[in-house]
Amino acid sequence: MSKLLEILGCRYPIIQGPIGLFNSPEMVAAVSNAGAYGMLALGFVGDPDEVKRLVDDVRKLTDKPFGANLMLMNPHNEKILSILAGAGIKAVTTSVGSPAKVYPIIHNLGMKGIHVVLALQHAKSAVSAGADGLVVVGSEAGGLRTVNPESSTMVLVPLVADFVSVPIVAAGGIADSRGYKAAFALGAQGVQVGTRFLASEESPAFEQWRRAIVECGDGGTDLLPSKNTRMAERVIITPWIREKKADPTVKCIADELDYQPAKTGHYDRAAFGGGQVSALIRDVKSVKEIVAEMVS
């Protein structure tokens, strides 16, 4: 058994990518029931009752292992971690921020932590800070990242593998059995999959979002920088984004996007987060079918 599977405790080394503001206990449980590692996104959750509710909702649907993602700028992480440990969760991932302070807490609670990195330098410092593994995310991935000129999965995964000895999880651009197999050839012990699971039947993505992924073709995503931070979001280019890009008076498209259109009704300007791999996704399938095809 690989070191990564020992950490995760599941059958297949596939982690479901956490999706920022969106949680679907049905999807987390479906991923775990399919033999992979379902993941709650707790990066923006502050209320301990909300954490307990989400964990309970998943637990009602699966007795298999699942985890959670924490963002390191969240001031509630210590409390969240003790709730997760109390609920029997054995492994978490950590993103966006310095891992130095949180890893002693994770280890004192008897858990393992895998840190999400976008560059070699951060991979090295995460290992020094005690990370038990790394999710190495290439620049083609969907969702939030930095505006730095980062490397693609094909370059970054073997590069990090040359310098660290902890297990590596490749992320960015993996949607099917071809990407899954390639990740191992690059030096990873497993994969993290975001966009492909977003276009699943159990996904928290609303209908328009799933359709945007399925209809997205080659070159159909863009990395849009925000105005006041060094962060950027990879989203699917919609007619609204195309219009704004052609308008020289628009300074920052990312800041005008609507990240929760289900609440506001502004679907025209919605942020459909998705990676370049959307071009390979042509249907909405069940999580079980996605995992079965990937490991086939």
Ligand X SMILES: Cc1cc2nc3c(=O)[nH]c(=O)nc-3n(C[C@H](O)[C@H](O)[C@H](O)COP(=O)(O)O)c2cc1C
- Pairing of β 14-16 and β 190-193: parallel
Among 7, 13, 17, 29, binds ligand X (CB under 6 A): 17
Q: Which of 23, 9, 15 is nearest to 56 (CA)?
A: 23
**Token code pair at residue 131:** 């990370």
Q: In what helix (H) or strand (E) does residue 192 lie, and over which residues does it extend?
A: strand 190-193
Nearest approach, Cβ of 144 to ligand X (angstroms)? 6
Kindly provide the b/e burial profile for residues 161-198, where b requires at least 16 CB atoms within 10 angstroms of the residue's own CB: beebebbbbbbbbbbbeebbebbeebbbbbbbbbbbbb
Return the residue matching tokens 């840190």: 115
Among 10, 19, 68, 294, binds ligand X (CB under 6 A): 19
Nearest approach, Cβ of 231 to ligand X (angstroms)? 12
Among 55, 171, 213, 279, binds ligand X (CB under 6 A): 171
69 binds ligand X (CB under 6 A): yes
Q: Write out the binding residues for ligand X, residues 83-102 only, by CB under 6 A.
A: 95
Kindly provide the b/e burial profile for residues 227-238, where b requires at least 16 CB atoms within 10 angstroms of the residue's own CB: eeeeebbbbbbb
133 binds ligand X (CB under 6 A): no
Q: Which is nearer to ligand X, 54 or 116 (CB)?
A: 116
Nearest approach, Cβ of 250 to ligand X (angstroms)? 22
Contact predicate 112/87, CB 8 Å: no
Nearest approach, Cβ of 248 to ligand X (angstroms)? 28
Nearest approach, Cβ of 195 to ligand X (angstroms)? 3
Write out the residues near ligand X by the rule CB under 6 A: 17-20, 41, 43, 69, 95, 116, 137, 140-144, 171-174, 192-196, 273-275, 277
